[in-house]
Amino acid sequence: MKNTSFRNGSILAIVVFALILSFQAAQSAKATVKDWQPVTAVATSTNEEFIKSYKNYIKIPPQNIVVPTVLEIPINTNQIYSDYFGVYNETQKKFIPELLVNSSQVDSNSVKAIDSNTNEDLAGLFDGRYETMKDFYLNKGEDKSLAKISIYYSKQIKSDSLNLSFDSYVSMPTAVTLKAYVGGTEVVVLNKVKPTSSRINFPITLSDKWILELEYSQPLRISEIHLNDALNSFSKKTVRFLALPQNSYKIYANPEVVNSSYVNYGEAPNLSSSVGVRKVSNSSILNNPAFVLSDTDGDGVANILDNCINTANFDQVDVDQNGRGDVCDDFDRDGIINVGDNCADTPNYDQRDTDGDKIGDACDTDESRFTEKYPWIVWAGIGFATVVFLSLLFVAGNKIREDKMLAEQMPVERKPSERTRAEGEDRRME
């Protein structure tokens, strides 16, 4: 009995030892895997997300029509500064195709825009087409970069506001400077203004040559740049869409950013023909209560204001004042941003962490255990423990079988009471 207890205790101790060694090995192996992966923003095309992206809307009640009819809605250009609209059928709960007519955008042939850094033609940012975009990346090794765009009009425009349209998941520039040539002299109308909205107002200015400077610490993706023009003869806008009887609609307007995803409208009707178009009186422009600025990382700071879009940092800490949050900075320039770098101040692109304590070997001054220097000991210990465990298990199994066989071979001995009773019965029978 005593030997059996000893054997069971030994086996249990060896099993526990093997489990401990296995855990140590797993921790060591885990050190080679990065604990952080960058956030990948996935654009959505749900109706709810589109509705949230617009600041305003115009309500169109059911019209007195008996068949599907194209409606044309005038747009107040003093309140709506973007040419990006969404027409929503409230009755059927879906977006439908629309057409913008008489855009107030200046004819792209009358404006010329040049990237002063590369001499690239940027007229596509002034053509009213929001699907064409221009990327401005950070210069290698720099914390901040400066985009400088020279804008030339064929004739003078009278402007008091600048509208910048960005793609989704893009932060705004850290500073905007706008200059204009007035009477042959360069004047500054915006001086390193930190934008808080896609529209920036400035004193009314008359000029045919403008210079826009955008300072940024995160890559930019701009879809459209618009300087409003009070002298433009095509200052009116109208939106057309095919309306159904007994259906009500909302025309959503003024998106803070341009959503690069899209709603699948299906086949679009011909909205370019003016035949049979019914004009509807202008309706009031209302604030959209569902409007929410996009916030990719969910830290409560909208993308256009967030100094680190893909990594949550509600405190927006930026100790080096480079316009980019510390969590998505790369202080040691090893190609891994701080939030995922296990040695933020010491270059270690391989992120080796032998002891799995979340501190890279390059900056880990404490040896957490003996096996950090000699990792082979762990595997040798596991192998030895496995062999011992299997051997003891084999020996214990054989011992159990031998005891069972021995017990079966021994004669069954009767108890004294049973033996006395059997003898009495034998005498009676005699």
Whole-model pTM: value is 0.52
Q: What is the pLDDT of residues 191-216, one digit of tens each?
A: 998 887 778 888 889 999 999 999 99
Question: For residues 242, 243, 244 and 248, what is the CA-based torsion angle, rounded to 10 degrees?
Answer: 150
> Any idea which fold 54-104+235-287 has?
Immunoglobulin-like (2.60.40)
> Using 50, 70 and 90 to split pLDDT, how confident is the model at 232?
low
Q: Are 324 and 308 in contact (CB under 8 A)?
A: yes
Residues 6+ apart with CB under 8 A from 140: none
Q: What is the pLDDT of residues 246-277, one digit of tens each?
A: 999 999 998 876 655 556 666 778 888 888 99
Strand order across the 86-89 sheet: 94-96, 86-89, 249-255, 54-60, 285-287
Rounded Cα distance, 41 and 219, in Å: 14
Report residue 395 CA to chain centroid gap. 59
Rounded Cα distance, 214 and 194, in Å: 10
Q: Are 81 and 228 in contact (CB under 8 A)?
A: yes
Q: What are the domain boundaries of the chain?
A: 1-35+342-430, 54-104+235-287, 108-227
Rounded Cα distance, 113 and 222, in Å: 14
Domain 54-104+235-287 and domain 108-227, same fold? Reply is no
Rounded Cα distance, 186 and 178, in Å: 10
Q: What is the pLDDT of residues 169-178, one digit of tens each?
A: 778 898 999 9
What's the CATH number of domain 108-227, 3.60.21.10, 2.60.120.260, 3.30.360.10, 3.20.20.140? 2.60.120.260
